[in-house]
């Protein structure tokens, strides 16, 4: 199976590198600067599960040939339109496009671009970063990937998804091929929107928020608003997912923050519109009070406006 990985950053580089280790036929679609890095040093990964370096087949957009069997889309949500243009030549009649983006809005956009029959659903969890030298650094032991067909995905795509699971099972990565992927996406959306909204709005970790008089209450209000949106959309989070999030958001020792906060404090662009903004819009469309989500989205919008204003 020919797999094209869009991007060789923290996410694409890590999971793509593991697929190379497993013996997969993997190509990376990257920009020229990253291609030069990979040509010189290979793909270098530092991981608690074992450091490794592998030579990779890295291509730029003008070098794409025949369509891939599966395209693994690992980009930031704000780069989605550019990504769609980039992978277009690699998407054939039977290609499966598997995004690993946060939120759910990208599913609708990819379906509009390529047809819902070609789009599957995916989600991953890994604390990782890309160094200026081009090395992928896994910051903690978690490296989980979940994927599966969506309601409109073509039946024959199961073959590609099964093969992807078989490849990843040869690696240390925790992998799951699930039947109800849209529910899994909504469950993560609920948790991520809560985490991103609260840690960005309060500019602190869970422990900092819970140390305040109203932190626990605001965290609960935010989570309940997000959960209500999921229910209104027809996706009721399962008890296990709800219990895990409630435990996470009640841990007074936790130094967890959303990666969005790191982007925000670093003065960079964030996925605020794709996660918090989208959740607010869906809440309003369903007649649900967004609660603290409203202030969080205002905060993220103001920060982005300031970033662009000062850049000018």
- What are the residue numbers of the active site? 188
Residues present in the chain in total: 312
**Taking the CA atoms of the chain, what radius of gyration do you get in angstroms?**
19
DSSP letter for each residue of 16-30: HHHHHHTT-EEEEE-
Per-residue exposure over 103-121, b if at least 16 CB sit within 10 Å of its own CB, e if not: bbbbbebbbebbeebbbbb
- Tell me the C-alpha distance between 264 and 301, whole Å: 11
152: nearest Cα among 193, 107, 92: 107
Let me know: does 237 contact 230? Beta carbons within 8 Å.
yes
Burial code (b: 16+ CB inside 10 Å, e: under 16) for 170-199 equals: ebebebebeebbbbbbbbbbbbbbbbbbbb
CA 50 – CA 45 distance, rounded (Å): 9
**Torsions phi, psi for 81 (to 5 deg):** -65, -45
């Amino acid at each position: 199976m020919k797999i094209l990985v869009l991007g060789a950053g923290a996410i694409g580089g890590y999971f793509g590198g593991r697929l190379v280790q497993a013996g997969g036929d993997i190509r990376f679609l990257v920009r020229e600067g990253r291609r030069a890095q990979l040509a010189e040093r290979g793909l270098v990964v530092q991981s608690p599960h074992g450091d490794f370096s592998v030579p990779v087949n890295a291509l730029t957009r003008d070098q794409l040939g025949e369509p891939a069997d599966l395209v693994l889309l690992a980009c930031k949500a704000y780069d989605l339109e550019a990504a769609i243009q980039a992978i277009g030549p690699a998407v054939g009649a039977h290609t499966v496009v598997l995004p690993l983006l946060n939120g759910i809005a990208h599913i609708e956009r990819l379906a509009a671009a390529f047809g819902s029959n070609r789009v599957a659903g995916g989600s991953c969890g890994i604390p990782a970063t890309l160094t200026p030298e081009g090395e992928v650094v896994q910051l903690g032991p978690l490296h989980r990937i979940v994927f599966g067909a969506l309601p409109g995905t073509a039946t024959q795509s199961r073959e590609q998804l099964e093969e992807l699971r078989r490849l990843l099972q040869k690696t240390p990565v925790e992998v799951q091929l699930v039947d109800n992927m849209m529910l899994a996406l909504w469950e993560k959306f609920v948790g991520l929107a809560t985490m991103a909204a609260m840690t960005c709005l309060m500019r602190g970790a869970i422990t900092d928020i819970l140390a305040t008089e109203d932190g626990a209450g605001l965290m609960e209000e935010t989570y309940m608003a997000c959960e209500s949106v999921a229910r209104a959309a027809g996706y009721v989070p399962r008890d296990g997912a709800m219990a895990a999030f409630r435990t996470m958001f009640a841990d007074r020792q936790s130094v967890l923050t959303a990666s969005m906060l790191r982007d925000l404090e670093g003065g960079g662009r964030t996925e605020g519109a794709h996660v918090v903004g989208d959740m607010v819009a869906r809440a309003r469309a369903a007649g649900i009070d967004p609660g603290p989500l409203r202030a969080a989205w205002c905060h993220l919008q103001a920060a982005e406006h300031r970033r662009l204003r000062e850049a000018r």
